[in-house]
Structure 1
Amino acid sequence: MSMAAFPPPRFTDPTVFGRVAVLMGGTSSEREVSLDSGRNVLEALRAHGVDAHGVDGIPALAEALLAKKFDRVFNILHGQRGGGEDGVVQGLMEALGVPYTGSGVLGSALAMDKIRTKQVWLSLGLPTPRYARLARGGGVQAAARELGLPVIVKPSSEGSSVGVSRVLADPDLVAAVELAARYPGELLMEQMVIGDELTVGILGDKALPSIRIVPKGQWYDYHAKYVAEDTQYLCPGLDEAGEAEIGALALAAFRAAGCSGWGRVDVMRDRDSGALYLLEVNTAPGMTSHSLVPKAAQQVGIGFEELCWRILEQAVADDPAGGAAG
């Protein structure tokens, strides 16, 4: 993939953005990651002359928007229930007519719910691992028998690998369900795909090169994502034909879930067959030193500061003089 795939930024004058709120922090389980992401985005936008200011959480944003303190919002909240990825804050901004980055109400709400995202994909014939929805406190053994071990057990609506367990044998099932059940919402049991873990960043209407994730340990968990320094990120993750296939699949999955603007689609590649399986969509991916969308953007010559600028551009109408659109 060459730089020609991405046209130059639409604007060069930072005043076109007006006063920008960088929405971060919040009250979800991913608060600390969001604060880290937000600080990086704030620094990047300010380095390019944008009048950007940090805002911690949805109540603070609501107060600021009602007082008409900001012209648009760069949303880097992560997660649900006070995070900004479940459609709630998007509805607030739509209601107040304030443009913002990332997916709208529908895409945000749907992608936050892994079970319903899979239902949409399956209805369109897009490949995703077989799964079972778990009622709290029951049906676990039966679901595991039906899917066949190994399986993944996880909350349906958490990110950053929070509450996720890999179950290789029956005795591990109880602990896996207990961990996932600490988080609100439904539980999801999914057939484990043995193979390569890949992720594809989406920027505008294009897929970035895939990244193949090779953790030092066996699993790419929260520690490997945010703490460990020995996780390998291979970009592009596949050969040319593989890149074309995974890019097209990721874009189709992103659009099917009603998502727009920017995001990341996580995919598994079966080691034996080479088949690709969709796992989930992240509508406000991390922007930390370990994060994957910036790594992929770098591969096509888009540095971190320019990436932030391009994402913010999505919150400006094609004719900025004619008013902005979310």
Structure 2
Amino acid sequence: MKIVVLAGGRSTERNVSISSGYRITNALREMGHQATFIDLFLGYALPDGADASTVFADANTSKDLKISDAVLTDDDINAMRTDGTTQLFGPNVLDICKAADIVFLGLHGGDGENGKVQAYLDLNNIRYTGSGSTASGITMNKVYSKEIMLYHGIKTAAFVEITRDQGTTGHQLPFGYPVVVKPTSGGSSVGTHIVHDDAELEASLVDVFRFDNSAIIEAFVTGREFSLGVVNGHAFPAIEIKVHDGWYDFEHKFQEGHTDFVTPPDDLAPAVHDEMKRVAVQTMQVLGLQNYGRVDFFANDDGVWVIEANNLPGMTPLSLLPQEAEAEGVRYGDLVESIVQGKLKLYADGMAN
């Protein structure tokens, strides 16, 4: 098949997305597909008079990348485009996507996961992997998704929302410190802080509002940290995340040597593991997610607590979903193939949302 791997874009997680995209592209080629990597924001310069379909014969990707730990601002990303324009879809992206049998979304964060790209592809009758625009938008917004989880009886930390127009000072929280402060719509722990007093809360809100107009403040939940991927309704083994120091922030997620991963740990009680799998599938269902995703957990004596769901989980060399699949004997190439085939079946059955 002709497959566009769409990555990059305008998100603060742009660099992570590019690493995922390269690896996905290489794997799809190894599986026999005509896959091409396209940067959503920078686009692709077609030769004069060339048809969009010619890109599938161009082996323009052949390596994995080291991920920079730089957090990119809008100004940083806009400066990459030399023509001075800033629209999300770069030159020729839409035409190239139309020429593909399906688009594999290797995007992370921002417009890649909030449903905007998915809606645009839907409007142009372009098939793509992952969930649809509505479920993506709900899942990307931590306030909306946590309200839905709580409605359905899924344990998740108590929270409040503070918007930019409410300012950064004078906030009375309904729970005590420490708390976790995050952008309401974001990922990869960009802009996330563990806060212990009012002064730290103010500083964390200043930082969050660099990335988002809304901050979510959560009661601090202690426990062992796990993640569990679901592909086409199948829950993979949970992976435990053990950081060497600190907590599982951006650096720990995407730079080697900072974190140990165990899939699954020998001391994880089977009943707890089964409950994680059940809750992961349930969380996907209540949020309307389909094809594939990942659910992050804390586990303690009070049970399993959902941190958040991810509608386009990372596919880099250090990402969690590929490690979980490998623990069950599923090679990376077979994993991406199953994602493509699973979404094509949903389209064939008229079930793609």
TM-score normalised by length of structure 1:
0.87
In 1, the alpha carbon distance for the partners of 2:331 and 2:345 equals 23
Per the alignment, residue 51 of structure 1 pairs with 34
Quote how far apart the aligned CAs of 1:138 are: 3.8
1:164 aligns with 2:192: yes
Per the alignment, residue 14 of structure 1 pairs with none
Amino acid at match of 2:246: Q
Per the alignment, residue 206 of structure 1 pairs with 234
1:111–1:287 distance in 2 versus 1, CA, 3 Å: same
Per the alignment, residue 119 of structure 2 pairs with 91
Quote how far apart the aligned CAs of 1:299 are: 1.0
Per the alignment, residue 100 of structure 1 pairs with 128
In 2, the alpha carbon distance for the partners of 1:319 and 1:267 equals 31
Amino acid at match of 2:273: E
Quote how far apart the aligned CAs of 1:135 are: 2.8
Decide which of 25, 32, 39 is 1:42's aligned counterpart: 25
Per the alignment, residue 154 of structure 1 pairs with 182
Q: Is the 8 A contact 1:132 1:143 kept in 2?
A: no
Map 1:91-240 onto structure 2 (within 5 A): 91-136=119-164, 137-138=166-167, 141-144=170-173, 146-237=174-265, 238-240=268-270
Per the alignment, residue 10 of structure 1 pairs with none
1:63 aligns with 2:95: yes
Amino acid at match of 2:200: D
Quote how far apart the aligned CAs of 1:64 are: 2.2
Amino acid at match of 2:214: E
Quote how far apart the aligned CAs of 1:167 are: 0.7
Decide which of 264, 272, 277 is 1:247's aligned counterpart: 277
Quote how far apart the aligned CAs of 1:139 are: 7.3
Q: Is the 8 A contact 1:99 1:325 kept in 2?
A: no
Percent identity of paired positions between Structure 1 and Structure 2: 33
Quote how far apart the aligned CAs of 1:324 are: 11
Per the alignment, residue 78 of structure 2 pairs with none
1:200–1:171 distance in 2 versus 1, CA, 3 Å: same
> CA deviation digits over 1:191-243, x for unaligned, max 9?
01111111111111111111110000120100100114131111114221111
Q: Is the 8 A contact 2:326 2:332 kept in 1?
A: yes
Secondary structure at the aligned position of 1:106 is classed as: helix
Secondary structure at the aligned position of 1:315 is classed as: helix
Q: Is the 8 A contact 1:155 1:181 kept in 2?
A: yes
- Alpha carbon RMSD of aligned pairs, Å? 2.0
Map 1:293-304 onto structure 2 (within 5 A): 293-304=321-332
Q: Is the 8 A contact 2:135 2:288 kept in 1?
A: yes
In 1, the alpha carbon distance for the partners of 2:220 and 2:335 equals 33
1:325–1:198 distance in 2 versus 1, CA, 3 Å: closer
1:138–1:147 distance in 2 versus 1, CA, 3 Å: farther
1:198–1:99 distance in 2 versus 1, CA, 3 Å: same
Secondary structure at the aligned position of 2:224 is classed as: strand
1:319–1:216 distance in 2 versus 1, CA, 3 Å: closer
Decide which of 283, 296, 302 is 1:266's aligned counterpart: 296
Amino acid at match of 1:168: H
Per the alignment, residue 3 of structure 2 pairs with 20
In 1, the alpha carbon distance for the partners of 2:302 and 2:153 equals 18
1:275–1:315 distance in 2 versus 1, CA, 3 Å: closer
Quote how far apart the aligned CAs of 1:315 are: 2.9
Q: Is the 8 A contact 2:256 2:318 kept in 1?
A: no
Decide which of 320, 323, 328 is 1:292's aligned counterpart: 320
Q: Is the 8 A contact 2:272 2:304 kept in 1?
A: no
Quote how far apart the aligned CAs of 1:325 are: 6.0
Secondary structure at the aligned position of 2:315 is classed as: coil
Structure 2: tracts of 5 or more residues without a match: 41-87
Quote how far apart the aligned CAs of 1:319 are: 9.4
Amino acid at match of 1:105: S
